[in-house]
Chain A
Amino acid sequence: MKTNYLFPYKLKKIALFILLFSFLGATYITVFEYNPDITNIKTGEYITNKGEVKPHYENIANEIVGMSLIVSLLLLAFSKEKEEDEYISKIRLESLVWAVYINYGLLLIAFVLFYDEDFLSVMIYNMFTLLLFFNIRFQYYKFKMRKELSYEK
């Protein structure tokens, strides 16, 4: 079956590789609140109250990590399988619907439970959770399929 909206299969391994590093990076930045000095770059200038022009620095570590997380999760989710056929398409679609339900279900709960800054954190995590839930469910089902197969002859 021809599907033209999926990435090539070989990107899957690359995606997994980037995902591993960006996940470690994300954990490091969020848990230890650590930003390396190399990613501190000058993004512009600003004028102080005294009229002095000062450079504005921004640490882009979280931007890099966030972008690579999204790209790797997208590639992992939507690159072709080794054997791409209609059954795997069905499982992919089911996983996508399931992930949307779970993601927005949790978001609805979060609307009630979290306010202000806490809700902002929820929204930041929510940028990644849809893809994350999809990937977990999709990989789990593929694993289950393979396991079922090993009993058959």
Chain B
Amino acid sequence: MKNNIKVQRAIKDITQAELAKLIGVSRQTINAMEKGKYVPSTVLALKLSRLFGKHVNEIFELENE
């Protein structure tokens, strides 16, 4: 699964640490998600969606297997 959290974060102009604090996870989690090493839970995805004001589909995208 691909995501553009890094881009969304740049648009909002916030750091990994700030984003982490806003959605209540550690900075490591944000970093792992941006690198595509971790697929977040639905709850976390919805929290990101709410924060960025974008649909989940606009942040996360399925990749062809």
Q: Please give the residue numbers on chain A whose beta carbons come within 8 Å of chain B beta carbons, in ascending order.
A: 1, 81, 83, 85-88, 90, 145-146, 148-149, 152-153
Which are the 7 A-B pairs with shortest beta-carbon distances?
A83-B26, A87-B29, A85-B25, A145-B28, A86-B41, A85-B29, A87-B38
**Shortest Cβ distance from B39 into A: residue:** A90
Q: B34 to nearest A CB, angstroms? A: 8
Q: B61 to nearest A CB, angstroms? A: 20
Residues of B within 8 A of A148 (CB): 28, 31
In Å, the complex CA distance between A87 and B38 comes to 7
Query: By the criterion CB–CB under 8 Å, are A83 and B31 in contact?
Result: no
Q: A139 to nearest B CB, angstroms? A: 14
Q: Please give the residue numbers on chain B whose beta carbons come within 8 Å of chain A beta carbons, in ascending order.
A: 15-16, 24-29, 31-32, 38, 40-41, 43-44
In Å, the complex CA distance between A81 and B26 comes to 10
Q: A90-B38, A152-B16 are in contact. Are A85 and B24 (CB under 8 A)?
A: yes
**Shortest Cβ distance from A85 into B: residue:** B25
Residues of B within 8 A of A83 (CB): 25-26, 28
**Shortest Cβ distance from A89 into B: residue:** B41
Q: A86-B40, A86-B41 are in contact. Are A145 and B25 (CB under 8 A)?
A: no
In Å, the complex CA distance between A71 and B32 comes to 32
Query: By the criterion CB–CB under 8 Å, are A87 and B26 in contact?
Result: yes
Q: A96 to nearest B CB, angstroms? A: 17
Q: B41 to nearest A CB, angstroms? A: 5
Q: A145-B32, A152-B16 are in contact. Are A87 and B25 (CB under 8 A)?
A: yes
**Shortest Cβ distance from A83 into B: residue:** B26
Query: By the criterion CB–CB under 8 Å, are A152 and B26 in contact?
Result: no
Q: A151 to nearest B CB, angstroms? A: 10
What are 18 A-B pairs with beta-carbon distances under 8 A?
A1-B41, A1-B43, A83-B25, A83-B28, A85-B29, A86-B25, A86-B40, A87-B28, A87-B29, A88-B26, A88-B28, A88-B29, A90-B38, A145-B32, A146-B28, A149-B28, A149-B31, A152-B31
